[in-house]
Amino acid sequence: MVDRASPWQTATVVDIRTETEHAKSYRLRPQRPMRHRAGQHYVVKLTAEDGYSASRSYSVASAPDDSGEFELTIERLDDGEVSTFLHDELLVGDEIEVRGPIGGFFVWDADSPALLIGGGSGVVPLMAMLRLARTRDRSDLVRLVVSARTPDDLYYASEIVGPETTVVFTRSAPPDAVRGVGRLQADDVAHALQPDATVYICGSDAFANAAGDLCIQLGVPTERIRVERFGPSG
């Protein structure tokens, strides 16, 4: 965990990858590398020539490794000060200011059972956890349930599928989908819930509240439920 007072530093963009029509992943190499934990985030700051600056927090999507690099997946919001610049202007080789990694509560180190429940872009920090489990050959410890509006809105679509994951589509689903379209239900969570698992929920307020209620209905103690909420922040 890095304190919020940690200094700003420059990070170089080493790769940009499109995830969906409105989301891109940016791989960054900081000047002073520090190994992050799955579930942490970084703050990105942009400063204009007149001195005006804007900053936003973005979750790390990559698993911890020894490279010192990390990956942020960022949704473009049309009225966002930071996300629109990153999507429309940032190129490989450019430099931006970052601070982090930050966070010590919503983290997982692939050392105990975990159920990950994400809505929309809330899957980003959970993807870091899934990737960590796969990297360490501990997929037995983790289950991921992710809710997306449509197949086109699903982040990491080619990678996220696997025996550890369940995808719930709320508006439209692919023709071969086994589950019908609809909001997250207790059955979606129950089949993925392992004994003594800690539950990590990330999404909008409405999604987080609904997912948390489902877990409580299924008997998960509140002390084993960790929630990270997000709102529009561009």
Walk along the chain (234 residues) and give the pLDDT tens digit of each residue: 444 557 899 999 999 999 999 999 999 999 999 899 999 999 999 998 888 999 999 999 999 999 999 999 999 999 889 999 999 999 999 999 999 999 999 999 999 999 999 999 999 999 999 999 999 999 999 999 999 999 999 999 999 999 999 999 999 999 888 888 999 999 999 999 999 999 999 999 999 999 999 999 999 999 999 999 986 555
Q: What is the pLDDT of residue 150?
A: 97
Q: What is the pLDDT of residue 2?
A: 47
Q: Are residues 88 and 28 in the same domain?
A: yes
The domain boundary residue, chosen from 74, 102, 130:
102
Q: Is residue 155, in this structure, part of any structural domain at all?
A: yes
The residues near 97 (Cβ < 8 Å, ≥ 6 apart) are 8, 9, 10, 11, 44, 45, 46, 47
Q: What is the pLDDT of residue 15?
A: 98
Q: Which residue has the tokens 């010192």?
A: 68
**Pair 145, 116: CB distance under 8 Å:** yes
Q: Is residue 234, in this structure, part of any structural domain at all?
A: no
Q: Are residues 153 and 126 in the same domain?
A: yes
Q: What is the CATH number of the domain that holds 55?
A: 2.40.30.10
CA distances in angstroms from 126 to 80, 109, 116, 141, 229, listed in the order given: 23, 12, 6, 13, 13
At 183-223, the pLDDT tens digits run: 999 999 999 999 999 999 999 999 999 999 999 999 999 99
Q: Are residues 67 and 155 in the same domain?
A: no
Taking the chain, what is the end-to-end CA distance rounded to the nearest angstrom?
24
The domain boundary residue, chosen from 102, 137, 162:
102
In this prediction the pTM is: 0.94
Q: What is the pLDDT of residue 230?
A: 81
C-alpha span between 88 and 16 (Å, rounded): 12
Q: Is residue 1, in this structure, part of any structural domain at all?
A: no
Domain, as residue range, for 71: 9-102
The domain boundary residue, chosen from 44, 67, 102:
102
What DSSP state is assigned to residue 120? G
Q: Is residue 2, in this structure, part of any structural domain at all?
A: no
Q: Are residues 218 and 153 in the same domain?
A: yes
